Amino acid sequence: MSEVETDLAGALGAIADTEPLINAVTNNVTVNDVANVTLHWGGLPVMSDDEREVGDMVAAADGCLLNMGTVDEAGEATMLTAGGAASEHGLPLVVDPVGVGATPTRTRVATRLVEELDVTVLKGNHAEITALSGADAEVRGVESVGEYAEIAERAVSCAREYDTVVVASGETDVVADAEGAYELAVGHPMMGQVVGTGCMLGVTLATFAAGIELDRPLEAALSGAVGFGLAGERAATDGSYDGPASYRIAFLDAVAGMADRPPESGNERIERVLSA
């Protein structure tokens, strides 16, 4: 049992009541899934990625995601503008440093984002979080390679260095702040067979952070990550699928059905594994 109580039903109700507008500056591989999963959680997606307007769009929004999956020079400028607007207006900001550690350019851009912006939640896979913590990591393309037995320690290190909450996704998800780390026993192996589940998790965290008070980022991250994993389980057990493509549809349907049939609690899936 965790020391942080999550209330998934309450979080889903708050999202439904407020319909938070989330501006996602995201990659062009999974932009449609990112928009849909925002809508299915009860939020409103907008995908503004033009530096000329993104500051104004974020100012009118309730949360922001920056996903650097296909970032180019213009995209870097757009993300800095969007993130700056989120900080200026006190909005939750989620940064997904996709592929950090794979190339010097990605490492430079990711480091700039986390150092220059006021990041509410930093979400990456085990290798990306390890790389940002300054330890050796193996990233192939945008995928995590290898074993990361010390991911809880790496996540806490990242949380302390960048003054944020960290979500390290993988076979076992880890959520950490400066005070410690939690392991989440949620999800299904099929989630790893669908391109874009990491991107969808990032915008899920932004949506939950916008629905929960800004001063409770750890609770928002835990709730969002647990809810996301439970949706993955429901897609496998309640849905009908023949492979990754149909599982993806079942997953989106499971997310859309969570508000009508919310889990009683996700706390039993959370275990504190490291205390500062």
Q: What is the pLDDT of residues 190-241, one digit of tens each?
A: 999 999 999 999 999 999 999 987 678 999 999 999 999 999 999 999 878 9
* 8 A C-beta contact, residue 273 and residue 152: yes
3-class DSSP state of 47: coil
Instruction: Select from 204, 208, 220 the least CA-distant residue to 254.
Output: 204
- Which amino acids are annotated as binding site, given as ranges? 47, 123, 169, 196
- Rg, C-alpha atoms of the chain: 17
CA-to-CA dists, residue 129 to 116, 125, 126, 275, angstroms: 17, 6, 5, 18
Measure the CA dihedral 214/90/52/79, to 10°: -50
Which domains, ranges and CATH numbers included, belong to the chain? Answer: 8-275 (3.40.1190.20)
pLDDT given at position 1: 38
Is the four-CA dihedral 14, 19, 23, 28 of positive or negative sign? Answer: positive
pLDDT given at position 2: 46
Give the DSSP H or E segment for 155: helix 151-162
pLDDT given at position 140: 55
**Maximum Cα–Cα distance for the chain, whole Å?**
47
Residue 128 is encoded by which pair of tokens? 């990306």
Give the DSSP H or E segment for 116: helix 104-116
- Which amino acids are annotated as binding site for substrate, given as ranges? 47, 196
For each of the chain's 276 residues, which pLDDT tens digit applies? 346 778 899 999 999 999 999 999 999 999 999 999 999 999 999 999 999 999 999 999 999 999 998 889 999 999 999 999 999 999 999 999 998 988 899 999 999 999 999 999 999 999 999 989 888 666 555 444 456 678 999 999 999 999 999 999 998 999 999 999 999 999 999 999 999 999 999 999 999 999 987 678 999 999 999 999 999 999 999 878 999 999 999 999 999 999 999 886 788 999 999 897
CA-to-CA dists, residue 155 to 14, 64, 195, angstroms: 28, 22, 24
CA-to-CA dists, residue 219 to 22, 54, 177, 209, 267, angstroms: 19, 28, 11, 9, 11
- Which amino acids are annotated as binding site for ATP, given as ranges? 123, 169
pLDDT given at position 163: 96
pLDDT given at position 4: 73
